[in-house]
Each structure stands twice: as structure tokens, then as C-alpha cells.
Amino acid sequence: MAPQTVDVACVSEIPSSRPRLIPQATAHATVWPLESEVTAVTSRSPCETQNDGFVGSVLFGDGAAAIVVGGDPSPSIERPLYELQWAGEMVLPENDGAIDGAACWTRNDLFWAVHPIGPAIVYQVEGKLEIEKPSFQPSPEILSDYGNMYSASVLFVSNRVRSWWSLEQNKSTLGEGTGNECKFLIGFGPGLLV
């Protein structure tokens, strides 16, 4: 099979994109989506009449991340860190409160992996959804540490979630569970992916 390119800006790493379809169609297939974003080459000095280039240089960062997606892991040789229970796309009309109670959990029972597009949007999501700090903290931390790395950001946030919970639960390795088993990913790109 020839390599495929799937790029929808900041949301290309969300599991509802095409890479998840290949293992679903072929039981033993493995896909390795790799995201690499280099924005430093677009940096330029600020000028008095136009500062948008400077703002972009401050907000966006370079980053790369990869994840292995497989349809049928072998427990004797593989140790999956995440299990994708469900992925899909839908529009929820009149969706106020659609998240709460859907699976006997509330908003703050979830671990939120929000694409760190920028401080204003990240904190608007947190405020509007009334999410408590501990379950939301990795997104603003990644934004502060690395900036918005477009598609790689979602994997950086997911890794921070995993690391944070493993350390909080005194696990011996970073791959030994993530505490809360429910995660909710939100990505911003051409529209909004949740």
C-alpha cells in the first residue's frame, strides 16, 4: 500500500480521521501517522505598521509527534497505551448538556485533551464547559511550554495527560494507566472537531 497523506491542519491527528479506518478494514494492519510542523521558517521581525507576523511567531511553535495505530494488537509483544473505543463524526443539534450523563459520567470525570490553539480559545472552552482545572490542565501547559504546534499538539497533550496521571497515581512507569479512563479530544482546524 502506498503512503497516504491526510492533512486537515490542527485536527489531522484526531483519531476520527482516516488512519483509524485502515486497521478497521484490515485486522492486522498498522498505521503510523506522523505529524511534523515547522513554523520557524515563516518568522519575521515585527514592524511598526504590521505586527501579525510577530504574533504568529510567538503563538505558534515547531513540533513533531507520531502514534502507532493498529487494529489487532498482540498482547504477548505489544503494550497499547490507549484503546480507541469509538470514533465518529456527527452534528448534535440543540446540544446543550449533551456531554453530561451520556455514559454515567459528568464533564469533570473526563480528561480533556483540548488542542491548544491559543490562550483565549483554550480558556473559553474551559469556562464555557465549566471544566475543573485538574482535568483540563495539560492543554494550557502544552501551549505555554511549546506554543500551538498545529496537528502535533493533540499528541503532545495526550502524552502530558498520560504522564500526569501516571505520576499522580504513583505508577512505576508512564505507560501504567492514566487514572481516568475517559478522555475527550477537541481539535480546531477547518471547523471544530470534537
CATH number at residue 8: 3.40.47
In a domain, 9, yes or no: yes
Q: pLDDT value at position 7?
A: 43
Q: pLDDT value at position 85?
A: 66
In a domain, 29, yes or no: yes
Name the residue range of residue 46's domain: 1-87+101-194
In a domain, 141, yes or no: yes
- Neighbour tally for 192: CB within 10 Å: 11
Q: pLDDT value at position 88?
A: 62
Q: pLDDT value at position 1?
A: 45
Q: pLDDT value at position 99?
A: 55
Q: Work out how many domains the chain is built from and give that number.
A: 1
- Exposure string (b/e) for 42-76, b if CB count within 10 Å is 16 or more? eeeeeeeeeeeeeeebeebbebebebebbbeeeee
In a domain, 11, yes or no: yes
In a domain, 138, yes or no: yes
Q: pLDDT value at position 194?
A: 47
Task: Please list the pLDDT of the chain residue by residue as tens digits (194 residues).
Answer: 444 444 445 545 554 455 555 656 676 777 777 777 787 777 777 777 776 666 667 778 888 888 877 777 777 887 777 776 666 666 666 766 655 555 556 777 777 888 888 888 888 888 888 887 777 888 889 999 988 888 888 888 888 887 777 777 676 555 555 444 567 777 765 544 44
**What H or E segment, with its residue span, contains residue 192?**
strand 191-193
In a domain, 92, yes or no: no
Q: pLDDT value at position 6?
A: 41
In a domain, 17, yes or no: yes
Alpha-carbon Rg for the chain, nearest whole angstrom, is 18
Q: pLDDT value at position 80?
A: 76
Q: pLDDT value at position 28?
A: 73
